[in-house]
Amino acid sequence: MPKDDPNQDDAALTDAASDTTADPPAKAGEDSANDAGETASHETTPLDDTGADTGADADDGKETSGDNTSAAENSTAKDSAANESTTSEQIRSARRRRKMVSIGIVVVLLIILGVLISGILDRDTSPPVVEIAPRVLFEQLVDKVKKDESKTIHVDGFVVDDEMLKSIQGLEPLETLILDQGKVTDASMKMIAALPNLRHLRLRLSPISDQGMSDLTQCESLWFLNLPHAECTSEGIKSLAKLSSLRQLRIGSKQLGNEVSREIVKLQSLRGIHLIGIGLTDDGLKVLAGVPGLEPGLPHLESLYLDDSAVTTAGWEWLFKTHPQIHVHVDQQHHDRDPKAHPHR
């Protein structure tokens, strides 16, 4: 069986093509010419028809193209109109926003301007603050007493010294003199003691010594003596025994200790005692309160205030048991065991 060679088919096709392209016989050539003429004549009409159809199609194309162009123009016009409408609306919206912003800015500026004008007017209309000298203020207080508008001079906002205090000399209506910011010395004690109706004297920040205490004993009307920053010793306290009207004694001095209890107990008119920073012990407490058969104590003692004392728990328990009538404060507070403890306003 011969071998299958695909190249053989290709060769046969090539030879057949060569035979087809060879010159035919003469008659055959004439027939071919005639056939060609007929073919040409027959093909003319379709060409003409085709041309006519093509022209018609062209016209139709032109019409279609015109319609499409018109539609496109109409669509473009509509889009343009829509765009113009949108743009106009955006412009109007932008204008409204700018207008609102402008109005807001104007309102804020008007508010700021109003505040500034108000501040200027306040500064212009408000009377200037004039600081009055302490001496003038003190003289005003003295004048009120002279006019019987007050019986009290109470100073806590400025310092009063010996020189300023001279203006109270002979001020008979004065009953209460309280100088919380004072710096009065022994030099003013005789003048103060000469006030005929003085009942309450409080001198803070004033270093009154034994001499000053002795001078004060001339003030027979004195009822309450408060010297929390004195510099006296037990001798100064001893001199106070001459004040038969004295009911309340509040004293503080770094030179006083437990021994002062022996001098205080001699002030038999006392109802209340407040010792500040004085190291009173259990024994000193018994001297003041009294021990039946041993210590007479203060017969009218109603209140006892001790700050920074040396009294022990046993000493307080003894006091509450034997003298329950005495009202006690320890370091500005009621003692837990005080039977007379009560709320303070």
pLDDT tens, residue by residue, 216-242: 999 999 999 999 999 999 999 999 999
Tokens of 227: 């010297």
Q: Which one has a higher pLDDT value, 114 or 224?
A: 224
CA 234 to chain centre: 52
Residues with Cβ within 8 Å of residue 169, at least 6 apart in sequence: 191, 194
**Cβ atoms within 10 Å of 288's Cβ, excluding its own:** 24
In the sheet where 248-253 sits, what is the strand order? 152-155, 176-179, 200-203, 224-230, 248-253, 272-276, 303-307, 327-330, 333-334
CB atoms within 10 A of CB 139: 14
Within the chain, strands assigned E span 152-155, 160-161, 176-179, 182-183, 200-203, 224-230, 248-253, 272-276, 303-307, 327-330, 333-334
**Could you tell me the pLDDT band of residue 336, with boundaries at 50, 70 and 90?**
low
Q: How many CB atoms lie within 10 A of CB 329?
A: 17
pLDDT exceeds cutoff 90 at 335: no
Q: Are 243 and 220 in contact (CB under 8 A)?
A: yes
Give me the chain's average pLDDT, please: 81
Question: How far from 73 is each of 26, 61, 67, CA to CA, in Å?
Answer: 67, 18, 10
What single letter denotes the amino acid at residue 34?
N
What pTM, to 2 d.p., does this model score? 0.63
Tell the burial category of 340 from Cβ atoms under 10 Å away from its Cβ (0-12, 13-18, 19+). Answer: middle
Which are the contacts of 280, defined by CB distance < 8 A and separation ≥ 6?
258, 261, 288, 306, 309, 310, 311
In the chain, % of residues over pLDDT 70: 69
SS3 189: helix
Question: Which two tokens mark 74?
Answer: 């109409």
Tokens of 139: 């003289």
Cβ partners under 8 Å of residue 270, min gap 6: 246, 247, 248, 249, 264, 298, 300, 301
* Per-residue pLDDT at 117: 79
Model pLDDT, residue 118: 73
Please tell me which residue, 342 or 171, carries the higher pLDDT value.
171
Least confident interval from 120-124, 142-146, 331-335: 120-124
Q: What are phi and psi of 177, to 5 degrees?
A: -125, 110
Asked if the model's pLDDT at residue 14 lies above 50, the reply is: no
Give Cα separations from 167 to 142, 153, 161, 195 (angstroms): 7, 12, 11, 12
Q: Which one is predicted more confidently, 161 or 127? A: 161
Q: Name the residue with tokens 């001198």.
A: 203
Indicate whether 179 pLDDT > 70.
Answer: yes
Ranking 69-83, 115-129, 178-192, 251-265 by mean pLDDT, the lowest is: 69-83
